[in-house]
């Protein structure tokens, strides 16, 4: 078992290394790619959430065996490091292990990771996802307003902050967040909805999102699939 791995495909755009802590995710977003990627029944994936077997032990062994240090490791792609309604003490153990071995973490969550801010420093990233239409969905995730507040708290502690606007479901809500909250994040990453129908004009959306990021001096990254819709050479 090698918990730390190098992402492939579109995931590579988020970082060079990653680690998935849990077996599933309770947030139940219809666009979640993880069940398909993991060849797992969707209902089982969303209802059976627990730490992967021996995840802390195996991560420690891999770090010692391969001498992994000085890397930025993404938590997580195929799950949420802070699944709402579940014990997330394993996440804290993983972060402690990664930091003690000289690595840094890049967190991305729809939950609340504030309890672990004391482990993070200016070399770490704390990020939230926001698609623009989540407040209307009945999902087991932290409301966007609370996620925004967690970003503010992370920023106050000197932790680098970011937002993943992917997949975008409501273009105008994303524009609103860029305008209103550009001063509490260090960077944003923006990506389109893939594999599902959408009435968003991706070319116009991408260009306007980029214009706003530039206007407010916000560091940003537009994912390749959206760049292609914008008619730009990758």
Cis link prior to 76 (omega < 30° from 0)? yes
pTM of the model: 0.89
Can you list the alpha helix ranges (DSSP code H) found in the chain? 34-37, 42-47, 55-66, 89-100, 144-156, 171-181, 202-215, 224-229
Q: What is the CATH number of domain 9-228?
A: 3.80.30.30
Determine the pLDDT at residue 40: 73
Q: Where are the domains of the chain?
A: 9-228
Distance of CA 56 to the CA centre of its chain: 21
pLDDT tens digits, 17-39:
999 999 877 766 666 666 566 66
- In this predicted structure, the answer to whether residue 188 has a pLDDT above a threshold of 80 is yes
Q: What's phi and psi for 72, nearest 5 deg?
A: -95, 115
Mean pLDDT over all residues of the chain? 88
């Amino acid at each position: 078992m090698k918990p730390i791995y190098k992402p492939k495909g579109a995931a590579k755009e988020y970082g060079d290394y990653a680690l998935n802590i849990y077996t599933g995710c309770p947030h139940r977003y219809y666009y979640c790619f993880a069940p398909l990627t993991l060849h797992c029944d969707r209902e089982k994936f969303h209802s059976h959430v627990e730490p992967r077997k021996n995840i802390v032990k195996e991560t420690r062994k891999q770090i010692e065996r391969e001498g992994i240090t000085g890397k930025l490791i993404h938590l997580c792609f195929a799950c949420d490091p802070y699944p709402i309604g579940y014990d997330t003490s394993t996440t804290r153990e993983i972060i402690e292990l990664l930091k003690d071995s000289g690595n840094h973490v890049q967190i991305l969550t729809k939950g609340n990771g504030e309890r672990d801010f004391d482990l993070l420093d200016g070399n770490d990233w704390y990020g939230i996802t926001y698609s623009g239409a989540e407040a209307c969905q009945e999902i087991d995730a932290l409301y966007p307003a609370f996620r925004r507040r967690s970003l503010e708290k992370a920023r106050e502690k000197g932790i680098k902050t970011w937002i993943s606007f992917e997949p975008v479901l409501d273009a105008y809500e994303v524009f609103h967040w860029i305008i209103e909250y550009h001063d509490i994040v260090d960077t944003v990453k923006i990506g389109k909805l893939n594999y599902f129908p959408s009435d968003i004009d991706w070319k116009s959306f991408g260009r306007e999102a980029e214009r706003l990021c530039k206007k407010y001096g916000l560091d940003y990254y537009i994912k390749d699939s959206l760049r292609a819709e914008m008619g730009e050479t990758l």
